Chains A and B, each alone.
Chain A
């Protein structure tokens, strides 16, 4: 009997990795954005396999469904064109790839050291909304509220930036004779 969970885990993992590589390889921003959506959907599948159904659903609704729609929206609005691929800097190749390998090895070592080598069983995490709710609103209430205030500040910043008072347009040469709209204080 094949382990269905393992097969699904590998399938979602391959989709996520392929999406991430495709994101870097594509030259058109909209293709990259769509690959990012695939990555996020595959990650939601992995969360679901671990039993974190609420996090999986929120991942799809918030990241794949709302944030990425804004990405796609901005790309569509600006009509961003095809990017040119450069060959990249030599420093990035020389130090970036070994650095990345070293970093991921370090993270893997720390994680394995502190959690043991036992894999998390499929569906083992307590991820039902009924367990997450009390955690968010009792145990982690302060971080939760601080995060919401942080987001509120970000929203206010965006509103302030967007509602810049309109500056007067530069006078068109030779149009002095035409009375423009009077400035009302």
Chain B
């Protein structure tokens, strides 16, 4: 394929994925307010547009027009860089996620993912998300405020601790697929067990899936692991001193990370874009992307459901859970999978 087509395709794909991701981020916030509202027996946003659907637009405008306050005691270079780091790395990690089979336009095969089909896709995502910790940690430190600092310290300790369980919980899937390539991992899950159960990794790897979901909730700082921003003890944690768009950027990063985690869970444990295909050819082309989006939606809904249901851990409980329960469990799962595959 000529280089200019390659560049054109890359630019278009990046723009589309970024647009879809940012819209998804905005509407995940809407969904969260709506669902948590209904869980708590109230309506959530209803005023702006039908069902409050234009609420994200109103919120975005409000964040843009709010006064951007900078407290005089902050360390300015890092105070400004921290939200940028958080949001840039959160948005970058979506780049290696494949959404469907390659499509063919005018004789050229174009993979449905922003980057080309990289061999170490999964490792790239882990690397990018592990850099994302700095956004939160530096925000807490540079704010020069004890609540922020405590939030930043909690966040970095929590993310380093749970990253190990997160990585180990995925190794079981990797052993079964024999590849780091996300596309190959998905294709290994095509077909059915016994003719009717989909061949998803979640059935043989249910312990790995449990570890992954627990560690991923902790990595994204969501309830029940949202201690870095526990408002009853830390005001707002690492983003106490932030206002206007800088404040919103931390939330964009958090929701973008949630979406990446949901995409990864779909790809690794729930068969990615595989699902029943039927109808005319045009429907058959769209259905894989639809199945992918539907599975991701289920995971985002689960996130919100958990948030509306569970209380927050205490910090010592969080650390004990991570190191004394989740890490040994994921190690046992890894060894068990290795023995089963070798045997």
The answer for the CA separation of A85 and B247 in the assembled complex, in Å, is 36
The smallest C-beta distance from A171 to any residue of chain B, in angstroms, reads 30
Of all chain B residues, the one with the shortest Cβ separation from A61 is: B127
Q: Which residue of A lies closest to B157 (CB)?
A: A73
Q: How many residues of B contact A (CB 8 A)?
A: 27
- Chain A positions 122-171 with a Cβ under 8 Å from a chain B Cβ: 128-129
The answer to whether B160 and A129 touch across the interface, beta carbons within 8 angstroms, is no
Verify if B94 is at the interface (C-beta below 8 Å from A). no
Tell whether, in the assembled complex, residue A73 and residue B120 are in contact, meaning their CB atoms are under 8 Å apart.
Answer: no
Residues on B with C-beta less than 8 A from A66 are 130, 160, 163
- Distance between A124 CB and nearest chain B CB, rounded to angstroms: 16
* Given A57-B120, A65-B127, CB of A76 within 8 Å of CB of B163: no
Q: Report B-chain residues with C-beta under 8 Å of the C-beta of A70.
A: 160
With beta carbons under 8 angstroms apart, the residue of A58, A61, A69, A129 that contacts B134 is A69
Q: How many residues of A contact B (CB 8 A)?
A: 24
Number of A-B residue pairs, CB cutoff 8 Å, is 74
Most chain B CB atoms below 10 A, which of A30, A34, A44, A65 = A65
* CB–CB A60/B119 < 8 A: no
Q: How far is the CA of A72 from the CA of B131 in the complex (A)?
A: 12
Stretch at the interface among B137-145, B252-260, B280-288: B137-145
A85 to B119 Cα, complex, angstroms:
46
Mask of A59-94 contacts with B, CB within 8 angstroms, 1/0: 011001110011011011101000000000000000
- Say whether chain A's binding surface is mostly helix, strand, loop, or mixed: helix
Please state if B141 and A76 are interface contacts (CB–CB under 8 Å): yes
Residue A54, interface by CB 8 Å:
yes
Residue of B nearest to A44 (CB): B127
- Give complex CA distance A73, B149 in Å: 10
User: Which of B118, B120, B134, B140 contacts A37, CB < 8 Å?
Assistant: B134
A65 touches B133 (CB 8 A): yes
Cα A69 to Cα B134 in complex, Å, equals: 7
A53 within 8 A of B: yes
User: Cβ of B124 < 8 Å from any Cβ of A?
Assistant: yes
Residue on B nearest A76 in the bound complex, by CB = B141
Bound-state Cα–Cα, A77 to B127, Å: 24
Residues of B within 8 A of A73 (CB): 137, 153, 156-157, 160
Given A30-B141, A73-B156, A76-B140, A64:B123 Cβ within 8 A: no
CA distance A57 to B134 in the complex (A): 18
Given contacts A41-B131, A58-B123, A60-B131, 6 further A-B contacts (CB under 8 A): A30-B138, A54-B120, A57-B123, A60-B127, A61-B130, A64-B130
A positions within 8 Å CB-CB of B:
30, 34, 37, 41, 44, 53-54, 57-58, 60-61, 64-66, 69-70, 72-73, 75-77, 79, 128-129
